[in-house]
Amino acid sequence: MSLHQSSGRWRLGLGLSLLTVLLWGILPIALIVTLQVLDVYTVIWFRFLVSFILLFVYLVISGKLPKLERLGSNSAKLLAIATLFLAINYFLFMQGLALTSPANAEVLIQLATVLLGLGGLVIFHERYRLYQWIGVSVLTCGYFLFFREQLTNLITAPNTYILGSILIVLGAAAWAIYALAQKQLLQSLSSASIMLIIYGGCALLFTPLARVKLIFTLDALHSGMLIFCALNTLIAYGAFAESLEHWEASRVSAVLALAPIVTLISVAVVSAIAPDLIPPERFTFLGILGAGLVVAGSVAIALGKTD
């Protein structure tokens, strides 16, 4: 089976990756607010259903609906794998988020980008230069410093906090499998067509578990947060899927490593404006230094040229 090759339009891939970082960085805040009034299954179902409907309408209007009869058996299997593992990722991440905090969840889910990068190197034969490997080392050191307090909390935290963290780590592994399958599927389908099928499949999986009536009882704030979560799913995953078309998976994963910084900045802003919604995060000098190292390492990996 031949492997997918990126288009080489790295600037477009970078821009789409940065859009994904922004949307995924602020998503945990909206999710934690939404989970105050809705269960995990209903939130996931609504996000996938709205994304499917909006993307379906767009593809119908543009005349770009996927032609499934053209799919080979390998592509069909990859679609099933991508759908199942994205659904698993959503479930595990949401359950973990409900038991921990936005910052901790965004820290731990970054294991997904590391696994995606390794998968790009191993499966798609992407290669780093020496200074990009140095960037990996710098990024790793930055994470250790930036999240030292959060990592320490895992030892002293209540059992529910630890369980939530374990669920998020498992969700990260599931996401990496989805993302690698997604990249290979670009051989036979457009990114929009792939996401349409995945959204629809995931919505069906969660339909029996969703408590639809609860959605109609939400106040304006929580309704707005739920709608934002759904639109975030559509735009962020669309941008991510398209970035894999134009850029190597290892580079995309490096840019996505910036998402925790967006999350913690967002938490600081929201907690200052509305402390009742999100408790504030406290930063140390080492944490700020670590953030700088994460940014520097990500830039070195993402912008370096491949051998």
pLDDT digits (tens, 9 = 90+) for 28-50: 899 989 998 999 999 999 999 99
Per-residue pLDDT, 155: 58
| Residue ranges of the chain with per-residue pLDDT less than 50 | 4, 307
Per-residue pLDDT, 88: 96
Per-residue pLDDT, 156: 56
Q: Which amino acid, one-letter code, is at 194? A: I
Contacts (Cβ under 8 Å, ≥6 apart) of 97: 28, 31, 32, 35, 105, 164, 168
pLDDT digits (tens, 9 = 90+) for 207-232: 999 999 999 999 999 999 999 999 99
Per-residue pLDDT, 51: 93
Longest dimension (CA), the chain: 57
Q: What is the CA angle 179-268-231, rounded to 5?
A: 40
Residue written as token pair 């290892």: 250
Per-residue pLDDT, 283: 64
The overall pTM is greater than 0.85 = no
